[in-house]
Amino acid sequence: LTERIICDPHHPDPVALMKAADLLRAGQLVAFPTETVYGLGALAFDETAVARVFAAKGRPPNNPLIVHIAERSWIERVAVDIPPVAYRLMDVFFPGPLTLILHKQARVPPNVTGGGATVGVRLPAHPLAQSLIRAVGAPLAAPSANRFTEVSPTTADHVLKSLGGRIAAVLDGGPCAVGIESAVLDVTTTPPTLWRAGVLAQSTLEASAGEPFQSPPHTATAPSPGQFPRHYAPRARVELQPFGDIKGIEKRLAFWSARGRRLGAVVLSEVDVPPDVTQIRLPSVVAAYAQQLYAALHALDGQLVDIIVIEQVPATAEWDGVRDRLIRAAHEPLPS
Ligand code: TXA
Ligand code: MG
């Protein structure tokens, strides 16, 4: 059984924190909140513990994990040949929702990096994440705490729904404030490559980096290991409709409703929906939308809807991170 360890982020109970830290030091898996989403933690330098992460998630071994540190000075324990641009970014965004891809230290086990020579490193801004990692005294490898391809968890309940019975414990520090995963920026390439957009706008990151980034190359296979097209997907099928196309959204809902489908709608605009449709209207401010998106998808999955019609977000740069997640959620299931 998976234990829920409730802990106030700002005044963590030392006994609760030690319980979670002891489990981790013993090689067990403990999920914990970060400001973006809940992570599934394991000792980053313990190859056996890291292997348990892949088993619990059902994650393919070529999909690397992010290593979480509690203090900026720990970066040298994980990475080598750190370029100046990385330090410029760390000055501003460590702690924060940014993952930097760097050359790995020899001691980082190969299963953390998917066999590769680079490692993702992040210093989360969540006080409980920092307290936990500090209590463990060593970096934690932590992917999002969900089964492979599922929507990331932003509450401890989401974690338990997905991984209950498969992990030792979840440290419950309440809902996450950011709500979508960190931006993933590779600073081993020149210019740096933005593998995954987050809530930090690309232009904001570029301003601190002092140089423009390149977009990931388009290849038939997954570009960043793990950037699979279908990811962050609810159980229900997702249909995207253009931003502001109220008539189009109403038409799709009426179409599926007439065919007896159980429906959910996630919208920004005011839309007239059939009475049997669960409508979730999200705020039109990016930060608030991102914070609530995954909870909306989890809630609709909980209602066992067949189809979720989602209004696409505006095509502006500040929405890049959210738009990326919606496109992935709507991607057709991979043939198996
Ligand atoms: O906000 C977040 O990043 C959350 C919290 C828990 O920190 N973590 C998270 O981890 O979203 P995960 O494993 O679900 O996503 C990590 C992403 C994947 O797309 C993976 O391919 C990429 O980061 N990644 C990790 N290491 C990499 C590397 N060495 N090179 C390229 N991409 C890497
Ligand atoms: Mg994930």
CB burial class (10 A; 0-12, 13-18, 19+) of residue 167?
buried
- Whole-angstrom Cα distance, residue 221 to residue 224? 9
Residue 82 backbone phi and psi in degrees, to 5? -75, 120
Q: How far apart are the first and last CA of the chain?
A: 30
Find the largest Cα–Cα distance for the chain: 60
Strands (E) in the chain, as ranges, are 3-6, 30-33, 38-43, 66-68, 79-80, 98-104, 118-122, 140-141, 169-172, 183-186, 193-196, 237-241, 263-267, 278-281, 307-311
| Residue ranges per structural domain of the chain | 3-209, 237-330
- 3-209 and 237-330 have identical folds: no
pLDDT value at position 220?
A: 47
Contact between 230 and 334 (Cβ < 8 Å)? yes
Please name every residue paired with 79 in a beta bridge, in sequence order, or none if there are none: 104
Question: How many A from CA of 244 to the centre of ligand 1?
Answer: 32
Please report the atom of ligand 1 found closest to the CA of residue 184. Answer: 23
Please report the atom of ligand 1 found closest to the CA of residue 99. Answer: 3
- Whole-angstrom Cα distance, residue 126 to residue 237? 32
Residue that the structure tokens 């705020």 belong to: 283
Residue 240 backbone phi and psi in degrees, to 5? -95, 135
Contact between 253 and 277 (Cβ < 8 Å)? yes
CATH for 237-330 is 3.40.50.11030
Residue ranges around ligand 1 (CB below 6 Å): 34, 36-37, 39, 63-66, 99, 101, 113, 116, 118-120, 122, 142-144, 181-182, 184, 195-196, 224-227
Residue 29 backbone phi and psi in degrees, to 5? -100, 130
Question: How many A from CA of 20 to the centre of ligand 2?
Answer: 22
Look at ligand 1, atom 20, and give the residue with the nearest C-alpha: 226
Ligand located closest to 114 CA: 1
Q: Which of 324, 307, 150, 297 is nearest to 239 (CA)?
A: 307
CATH number for domain 3-209, candidates 3.40.50.410, 3.40.50.2020, 3.90.870.10, 3.20.20.80: 3.90.870.10
Look at ligand 1, atom 31, and give the residue with the nearest C-alpha: 224
For ligand 1, pick from 54, 133, 181 the residue to mutate: most ligand atoms within 8 Å of CB. 181
Ligand located closest to 227 CA: 1
Instruction: Pull the structure tokens for residue 90.
Output: 């760390």
- Whole-angstrom Cα distance, residue 307 to residue 254? 12
Contact between 282 and 293 (Cβ < 8 Å)? yes
Please report the atom of ligand 1 found closest to the CA of residue 120. Answer: 26
Residue 205 backbone phi and psi in degrees, to 5? -65, -45
Look at ligand 1, atom 3, and give the residue with the nearest C-alpha: 182
Question: How many A from CA of 184 to the centre of ligand 1?
Answer: 7
Exposure on the CB side of residue 154, measured as CA atoms within 13 A: 22
Look at ligand 1, atom 24, and give the residue with the nearest C-alpha: 64
Ligand located closest to 63 CA: 1
pLDDT tens digits in sequence order for the chain, 336 residues long = 999 999 999 999 999 999 999 999 999 999 999 999 999 999 999 999 999 999 999 999 999 999 999 999 999 999 999 999 999 999 999 999 999 999 999 999 999 999 999 999 999 999 999 999 999 999 999 999 999 989 999 999 999 999 999 999 999 999 999 999 999 999 999 999 999 999 999 999 999 999 999 988 765 444 455 566 666 788 899 999 999 999 999 999 999 999 999 999 999 999 999 889 999 999 999 999 999 999 999 999 999 999 999 999 999 999 999 999 999 999 866 554
Please report the atom of ligand 1 found closest to the CA of residue 116. Answer: 29
For ligand 1, pick from 40, 59, 66, 158 the residue to mutate: most ligand atoms within 8 Å of CB. 66
SS (H, E, C) 260-311: CCCEEEEECCCCCCCCCCEEEECCCCHHHHHHHHHHHHHHHHHCCCCEEEEE
Look at ligand 1, atom 15, and give the residue with the nearest C-alpha: 143
Please name every residue paired with 32 in a beta bridge, in sequence order, or none if there are none: 39
